[in-house]
Homo-oligomer: A and B are copies of this chain.
């Protein structure tokens, strides 16, 4: 009986997050004020984010940052998560590759998002903040933040993209069950929302609008800050708890990964798993391939450009130096809602530019084929986002078969798909399709961004 699951105990929960920026030769660019073009300081960011998070955002020197005891205490509700050897998938592919996955789907909200939500709630609480605002698209981040705020006794208001609010009532109800207030965006509760509704009463919302509303509420409410679930450096930092655990678990398995794969939206789960392994690449010259699996319909890493751009559609955020498709890029309505983001975060963008990592694009139908194969061989129905990582893993495992090479592949199962079954329903009914994205479309949204450089 070979071991399938590599389990750690509570005492093995990492004590430190890994700050890869400290080890990078070419540091990620600092966020710039859109008007002055001057790098922002922690105090500037502190108007929107908790001060400690703002400091983490700009920290380029401390390699390891201690995880507060209070955060580890809530991590203990679901961490450490299992590392699993995917024997069933290996057998189905008839590959000599060894496939492992880190199972972040076991968190009570079903995804990795909690790892940063808990930390962000903690630092806000510690600063004496009482109210939090955020936005959510499909609802994964909002659910995680609702959970975290409940634990630290914070009030949370979530602006949920209107079309998701109506079409994904499950995630809305999860947030409400944890005690959060959920507002369909655009709403009449902010100036930004009112302006949009006045112009277009039937507007179905967008992540950009929801961000604007959440930031406006945060800056106009007493003792309130805004939080974000991806893209930013401090979010990636918190997610490294995934990779730190995985390093220990791969040692238990007696292997070291040749390839590490994560799906890619804003970068939070990808960074979380890969950065602790990249440490060996950067500091010891280890030859591991790191592959970001992004949707072909939102290919910022494979077809975007490395430019200064806004983090949101409306242009309210600082300028970030990142691989981008342009902040006005409107991704197709793929079911992997968590991957529908135009940019990549400054650390990952720098690593990409320095060729420390690579990216591949996965079409929607390939992602669902991979998801069903994984469901039937490993028994876990993956989130549509995570299915992109599975598809990229299958590609690499089949290459191993062709070449007759035994590689060790590790991927991140960032979440389960039990709350996304309508997507599977559509796929099984043959109603899903791939989206073709022309170079003209990308050029068009990037044109405006290039003018800003």
Contacts and interface: CB of A to CB of B under 8 A. Distances in A.
Interface in A166-204: 169-174, 176-179
Q: Report whether over half of chain A's contact residues are helix, strand or loop; otherwise say mixed.
A: helix
A424 B173 contact: yes
Contacts of A170: 170, 418-419, 421-422
B177 A379 contact: no
Interface stretch (A3-11, A338-346, A433-441): A3-11
B421 A418 contact: no
A73 B419 CA distance: 27
A425 B169 contact: yes
Nearest to A9: B7
Interface in A1-50: 1, 3-5, 7, 9-10
A147 B69 contact: no
B421 A169 contact: yes
A3 B72 CA distance: 12
Chain A contact-residue range equals 35 or more
A396 B173 CA distance: 29
Interface string A61-85: 0000000010011001100000000
A108 interface: yes
B376 A150 contact: yes
A398 interface: no
B173 A425 contact: yes
Interface string A374-413: 0110111100000000000000000000000000000000
A372 interface: yes
A108 B424 CA distance: 16
A178 B169 CA distance: 24
19 contacts: A1-B69, A4-B10, A4-B76, A4-B77, A5-B10, A108-B416, A147-B379, A150-B379, A170-B419, A171-B421, A172-B425, A176-B428, A177-B371, A177-B372, A177-B376, A177-B381, A178-B381, A418-B418, A418-B419
